Chains A and B, each alone.
Chain A
C-alpha cells in the first residue's frame, strides 16, 4: 500500500517524460488527462481507505488524501475540458505533467522542506505554461508570475528554515511534520513564531491572498484555459493546504493566535481587493481570476475563524470552488476562441447565440456567487456562522458587505455578456485555431463539473466522515 503513495508523483513524471520525448504522435494530448485520472483514482482510494499511509518521505493522512482527491478532481475537469481548446503541444503537456507531479508531492510530503521544494517546483513548471502564448502579455505575465511567486516562496523558505532552527533546541532538529506536531520535539518559541509567520506569509503569496495577489490576475488571464483552470482551481488550494500544515505545527507549540490574525487580515483584504476590482472589470478572464482571490479570501476567513466548522467549510470550499472554477476557465477559453477577444464588451448575447456555452457559464457564475444547490453556498454560510461563533462580529459584517459588492460586480458583468439579444457578431476570428462548434463532447466536462459541484453538497454520507477526519488530522484545537 505504501508504494501506492509514490504513484501520484511518479506516474505524471514518467508520462511527462514520455510526452516530452515523443510529442509528435496524435494521442500525446491525452497523456496529462491520464495522469490526472491516475491522481484522482489514488486520491479516492486513499480517502476510501481512511487510514494513515506513510512511506519514507511521503505520508497521506486524512487531510492529505482529501486534498489529493481535490487535486485529481480539478485536474480531470480542467484537462478533460481543455481537450476542446487549442492543443498545447508536447512541451506544454510535459510541463503540465510535471506540474501535477509537483502538486502531488507537495500534498503528500511529510517533510516541510520537501513540501516547499514541491511548491517551488509548481512555480517552475507553470512558468513557461503561463508564457505559452508567446505574446507580449503572456511574457509580461510570466515574468511577474515567476518573480513575485519565487520571492514569496523564498520568504516561505526562510520561515521553514527558522522553524527547523527552532527545532534544534531539542537536540535532533527535524522538518518532519508528524514529529513537529506530536510535540515530542520542543521548539524555541521566538524562532518558531517568526518562522511560522514568514512561512504563512510566503505560502499566502502562492495562495493569491492580498496584498501579495497582484501576479494572479495577470498569470491566470494570460495562461491557456486548462492551465489557468488548474492553477486557479487547485494550486491556490495546495498553497492554502501548506498554510494549514504550518498552522497545525503552530497549534501544537506556540498557539494559533498569530496565524489566525494573519489569515483574517489577508482574508478580508482579499475580499476587498476582489470586491472593488471586479466592479467595473473589463476582461472576463481577469474577472474569474479576481473571483479566485475572493474565494481564497473566504477560505482564509474560514481557517482564520479558528473553529472546526470554519476549517471544515474551508476544506469543502476548496473542492467546490476548484471544480467549478476549472470548468469556468475552460468555458472562458472557448468563449475567447469564438469571439476572439477577452473584453467583456465584445461578448454579447451568449445565451441566445451559443446556449451550450451560455448556460454552463451562467450556472458556473451562480456557483461562484454562492447560490444553492452548489457547495459554495453551504460553505459561505458556514464560514459566516463560524466567524460569528468565535465572536468576530466585525469580520462577519465586513465579509458580508464585501461579498455583496463582489456580487454586484460579477453579476452585472456576466449578465452583460450572457443576456440580451445577439447582435450580428462577426463570428470567430478569421483563423480560429480550433473551429468551435456546439458539441456534446465539448460541453460534457463543464456540465459534469457543475453537477458535481451541486451534488457534492448533499453527499453527507461520503463527505461528513472524510471532512471530520481531515479536520481532526489537521489538529484544530477548538
Chain B
C-alpha cells in the first residue's frame, strides 16, 4: 500500500462519506458516514506509514484549471517521511474521533453537513501533511479551515456564543492563510518554482527570505495557537461538538507545528538561524501562559483548549531548543530536541483526544461543561473515569505514559546542552528549563483539579447527580466506549514503546545513531536511557509485597464502616461545601495575580437607617485572557470605528463621486502628458 494508494483511498472514502451523509436517513447516518470517515482516518494512517517506511516516487497530481509551468508548478501530493508522521497523527486521531462520533454525534452535529464536513476536514488535514507544493498545501489548509468552520457552526442555533467563536476562528484562520500565501509567494518568487523540493534546494536568503520566514512563521504560529495568536483556540474548541474539538485540538493544531518544523529545517534553514530565540520564546511563553490560564478556568473544554496551547508551546520550545543547539553546533543533542518535539506532538495527540472525548461523554451525560457543577461521575461512568484518568496522567506527564516519555526526552536535551560554550545557551537553557518545569508543575495541578472535581466526591448539581447512563442499549454507545479505550491504550502504549517510536522519528528527521531503542526502552546516545518496561516492572515488584501485606491484614480487620465525613463536629457536609474547580485554583489566582489581572468587584450595600451595618455583600471575581483584553478587544473596536469612519466617504452626494472621477482624469492627464 504505497502513499499514493493511501491518498487515493482517502479521496474515495471521503467522497463516499459525503454521499452517505447526504443520502442515508438520520438514524443510520452517524453509523454510515462515521464509518466512512473512520475509513478515511485509517487510509491516512496507511498513507503515513507508507510515507515513513519508503520514500515515494509516485505522486498524486491534482488537476487544476490554471495552466502549469507559467509560475505555478503542477499540484502534487508526495508525503515526505516527516509528512508521513503527521499523516499518521491525523489519521489516528481522525479514526478514533470518527468511531466516537458514531455513538456521540446528535442533533446538528449529526446532520448532513455535520458528517460531510467531518470527512472533508480529515481529508483537508491529510492534504496539508502530504502536500508536495505550495498551492496544494494552501488548498489543504483552506479545505481544513472551511470544513472546521462549518463543523464549529454545528450548534449555532443552540448558543449565541458559537457564532462569535466561529467568526473569531474564521478570521484568525484566514489571517494564517493569507500570511502563509504571502510567505509562500515571496519564497516561490525567489526560488522560481512552487514545488517544495526546488524551494528547499534554492536556499533562499536575503530580505525576501526573512520576510517570507516571518510571514510563514506568523501563519503557522496562528494555526498552532501560540500565545499572542492563540485567542481563537479557547473560544472555538469548547463550542465545537466534542469529537470535532478532539480532532481540532489533537490533529489540526499539530499541522502548525509541522509547518514550523519544516520551515526551520528544510525550507529556510539559513534564515531561521537568526530567529531561533524568537521561536524558543514563542514556545516557552505559550507553554507557561497556556497552562496558567488552563489551571484557573473552570470550564472543562476551555481548560483542555488552553492545555493544547501549552502542549503546542512545549513542542515549539523543543524545536527552538533544537535550533539553538544546532546553531551552537551541538549536533547530537539538537537531534534529541527535535525528536522530543515529535514525541510531544504524538503524545499530545493521543491524550488530548481521549480527554476531549471524555469531556464529550460528560457533556452528553450531564449537559454540563462547568467543573463547578460536576462531581461523583466515578460511580456512574467507570470507563470514562478510567480513560480520562489515564489521559490526565499522560497530560500531567506522570511515568509510563506518553507525556512522560516525551517530556523526559526534552528535559534530557535541555540538561545536556553544553552552555559553557556560548553565553546565549548559558542563559537560554536554564530559563527554558525553569519555565518548562513551572509549566509541568501547573499541568499537574490542572489535571488533578480536572479529574478530581469532575469524577470524585459527591455531585455538585442535580444534573451531575442523575447523569444519563454511560452505555445504553444501542450499539453506538459501545463505539463511544471503544474509542475512549483505544485512545487510553495509545497513551499507555506510546509511553511503553517510546524506544521504537523515537527511533522512527529520528530516522524520519534524518538523524542516525543519536537515538536507539533497547528492548522497548530509549537510549539517547551521549545522555542516558529510559526504559519504561523496567520502571513498570520495578513498580509492580514493589507493589506486590504491599498488596500481600494488605490482604493479610484485611483478614484480621475485615469490617469497613461507612460514616459521615468530618464536618467540625456537626453533620453539615452537603455537596455544596465541597471544593470546586474555582476554589481549587484560588491560590494560583492570588500567586500569579499580576500575570492574570483578575477583575474583582465588591459591592457592600448598607441598611438605610444605619450606615455601619451591612445589608448585603456581593463579591465577584473574573479572570479573563489579558492578551485578548489588551490587544484583540481594542483592535476589534478600532476596526469598528474605522468601518464607521470609512462609510462616511460614500455620503451619497453625486458631486463628491464626480469629484473622484475628475481627480482621476486630471491625474492621468498630468502623468501621461507631462
A–B direct touch, CB within 8 Å, in complex? yes
Q: Could you list which residues of chain A lie within 8 angstroms of chain B, going by C-beta atoms? A: 140, 143-144, 147-148, 151-152, 155, 190, 193-194, 197-198, 201, 205, 211-212, 214-215, 217, 258, 262, 273, 276-277, 279-281, 307-309, 312-313, 316, 349, 351-352, 359, 366, 369-373, 375, 377-382, 384-389, 391, 393, 396-397, 400-401, 403-405, 407-409, 411-412, 415-416, 419-422, 456-464, 467-468
Interface residues of B in 624-674 (CB under 8 A from A): 639-640, 642-644, 646-647, 649-650, 652, 654, 656-658, 660-661, 663-665, 668-669, 671-673
Closest chain B CB from A355 CB (angstroms): 9
Given the contacts A280-B644, A408-B171, A415 and B163 also touching, CB distance less than 8 Å: yes
Q: Is the CB of B185 within 8 A of A143?
A: no
B643 near A280: Cβ-Cβ < 8 Å? yes
**From residue A390, how far is it (CB to closest CB) to chain B in Å?**
8
Q: Which 8 A-B pairs have the closest CB atoms?
A: A279-B643, A309-B71, A280-B643, A276-B646, A388-B185, A214-B657, A460-B63, A463-B65
| A212 surroundings in chain B (CB, below 8 A) | 660-661, 664
Distance A48 CA – B101 CA, assembled complex (angstroms): 48
Partner of B654 from A148, A460, A462 at Cβ < 8 Å? A148
With the chains together, A405 CA to B644 CA distance in Å?
14
Question: Which of B152-160, B313-321, B427-435, B456-464 sits within the interface?
Answer: B152-160
Which residues of B lie under 8 Å from residue A388 when comparing CB positions? 182, 185-186, 188-189
Among the 9-residue stretches B31-39, B135-143, B523-531, B556-564, the one with 4 or more Cβ atoms under 8 Å from chain A is B135-143
**Is there an interface contact between B156 and A420, defined as CB atoms closer than 8 Å?**
yes
Contact assessment for A411 and B644 in the assembled complex, using a CB-CB cutoff below 8 Å: no
Say yes or no: A467 contacts B65, CB within 8 Å: yes
Out of A201, A307, A371, name the residue touching B146 (CB < 8 Å). A371
Quick one: given A372-B139, A388-B185, A404-B178, are A279 and B67 in contact (CB under 8 Å)?
no
Instruction: Pick from A205, A396, A458 the residue with the most CB of B within 10 Å.
Output: A396
Min distance, Cβ B10 to any Cβ of chain A, angstroms: 16
Q: Closest chain B residue to A421 by CB distance?
A: B157
Which of these, B68, B647, B665, contacts A280 with CB under 8 Å?
B647
Tell me if B291 is interfacial: C-beta within 8 Å of chain A.
no
Nearest CB in chain A to that of B184: its residue: A385
Q: A147-B658, A400-B181 are in contact. Are A377 and B66 (CB under 8 A)?
A: no
Given the known inter-chain contacts A277-B647, A313-B66, please indicate yes or no for A359 contacting B71, CB distance below 8 A. Answer: no
Q: Which of B268-320 contact A (CB under 8 A)?
A: none
Cβ-defined contact, A194 with B143, below 8 A: no
Q: Which of A273, A366, A385 contacts B194 (CB 8 A)?
A: A385
Max count, chain B CB within 10 A of own CB: residue among A212, A262, A416, A467: A212
- A215 and B650 CA atoms in complex are apart in Å by 10
- Structural contact, B156 and A351, CB atoms closer than 8 A: yes
Report chain A residues within 8 Å CB of B661. Answer: 148, 151-152, 155, 205, 211-212
B145/A277 in contact, CB under 8 A: no
Within 8 Å CB of A215, what residues of B? 657
CB–CB A276/B65 < 8 A: no
Q: How far is the CB of B189 from chain A (nearest CB, A)?
A: 4
C-alpha spacing A442/B397, complex, angstroms: 58
CB pair A464–B67 under 8 Å, yes or no, is yes
B410 within 8 A of partner (CB): no
Cα–Cα, bound, A376→B64 (Å): 12
Q: How far is the CA of A332 from the CA of B178 in the complex (A)?
A: 28
Q: A214-B650, A388-B185 are in contact. Are A464 and B65 (CB under 8 A)?
A: yes
Q: Closest approach, in angstroms, between the C-beta of A346 and any C-beta of chain B? A: 17
User: Could you tell me if B646 and A419 are in contact, using CB atoms closer than 8 angstroms?
Assistant: no
Specify which chain B residues have a CB less than 8 angstroms from the CB of A373 in the assembled complex: 143
A385 close to B185 (CB less than 8 A): yes
Q: CA of A232 to CA of B188 in the docked complex: distance in angstroms? A: 33
What's the Cα separation between A370 and B416 when bound, in Å?
A: 48
Q: How many Å from the CB of B74 to the closest CB on chain A?
A: 9
User: B396 within 8 Å of A by Cβ?
Assistant: no
**Contact status A456-B65, CB under 8 Å:** yes
CB neighbours of A460 from chain B (8 A): 63-65
Q: Is the CB of B189 within 8 A of A277?
A: no
Q: Assess A277 versus B650: contact at CB under 8 Å? Given A211-B664, A312-B66, A381-B181.
A: yes
The answer to whether A155 touches B71 (Cβ under 8 A) is no
Q: Quick check: is B226 within 8 A (CB to CB) of the other chain?
A: no
B412 CB within 8 Å of chain A? no
- Cβ-closest chain B residue relative to A383: B185
Pair B138/A381 contact, Cβ less than 8 Å: yes
Chain B residues closer than 8 Å to A312, beta-carbon distance: 66-67, 70
Q: Are B160 and A143 in contact (CB under 8 A)?
A: no
Which of B65, B174, B186, B647 is close to A407, meaning CB atoms less than 8 Å apart?
A: B174
Q: Shortest CB–CB separation between residue B244 and chain A, in angstroms?
A: 16
B436 at the interface (CB under 8 A from A): no
CB of B305 to closest CB in A, whole Å: 21
By beta carbon, the residue of chain A nearest B156 is A419
A281 touches B647 (CB 8 A): yes
Q: Which of B72, B113, B208, B211 interacts with A359 by CB under 8 Å?
A: B113
Assess the B171–A407 pair: CB atoms within 8 A: yes
**How distant is the Cα of A387 from the Cα of B71 in the complex, in angstroms?**
10
A47 CA to B211 CA, complexed, in Å: 42
Q: Answer yes or no: B538 CB below 8 A from chain A CBs.
A: no
Q: With CB as the reference atom, state the residue of chain B lying closest to A261.
A: B671
Q: Are A393's CB and B654's CB within 8 A?
A: no
Q: Is the C-beta of B166 less than 8 angstroms from some C-beta in chain A?
A: yes
Given known contacts A371-B145, A385-B188, A460-B64, A377 and B71 CB-to-CB distance under 8 angstroms: no
Given that A155-B665, A385-B185, A457-B65 are contacting pairs, would A280 and B640 also be in contact in the complex, using a CB cutoff of 8 Å?
Answer: yes
Inter-chain contact A217/B650, CB cutoff 8 Å: yes
Residue numbers in A under 8 Å from B71 (CB-CB): 307-309, 382, 385-386, 389
CB pair A258–B640 under 8 Å, yes or no, is no
User: Do A214 and B656 have beta carbons less than 8 Å apart?
Assistant: yes
Are A384 and B66 within 8 A (Cβ)? no
Q: Can you list 22 pairs linking A and B with CB atoms under 8 Å apart?
A: A190-B673, A211-B663, A212-B664, A217-B650, A309-B70, A349-B157, A352-B157, A359-B113, A372-B139, A385-B134, A385-B194, A388-B182, A408-B171, A408-B639, A411-B170, A411-B171, A411-B174, A419-B163, A458-B62, A460-B65, A463-B65, A468-B67
Residue of B nearest to A286 (CB): B650
Query: Closest residue of chain B to A386, judged by CB?
Result: B71
One of A262, A411, A457 near B668 (C-beta < 8 A): A262
Tell me, yes or no, whether B162 is within 8 Å of chain A by CB.
yes
Contact A276 B642 (CB under 8 A): yes
Chain B 51-78, CB within 8 Å of chain A: the 1/0 string?
Answer: 0000000000011111110111000000
Which B-chain residue is minimally distant from A397 (CB atoms)?
B182
